[in-house]
Homo-oligomer: A and B are copies of this chain.
Amino acid sequence: MSATTDSGFYSIIDYTVDGPATQQELVDAFAAIQEKWVRFYPGYLSARFHVSTDGTRVYNVVSWASEADYRNFVETSDTDGRMADIVGAVEALGGRAEARMSGVPTYTVVREVGPGPRKEG
Contact = CB atoms under 8 A, between A and B. Distances in A.
Interface of A: 1, 4, 6, 10, 12, 14, 16, 24, 27, 31-37, 39-40, 44-54, 56-57, 59, 61, 85, 100, 102-121
A54 B109 contact: no
**Could you say how many copies of this chain the assembly holds?**
2
Contact of A108 (B10, B37, B53, B109): B53
Which of A1, A50, A54 has the most B CB atoms < 10 Å from its CB? A50
A100 B15 CA distance: 11
Nearest to A89: B121
Contacts of A34: 113
Contact of A113 (B35, B57, B112): B35
Contacts of A52: 103-107
Contact of A27 (B45, B46, B110): B110
Contacts of A44: 115
Chain A to chain B: the 5 pairs with minimum beta-carbon distance, closest first:
A54-B104, A35-B119, A50-B107, A56-B103, A34-B113
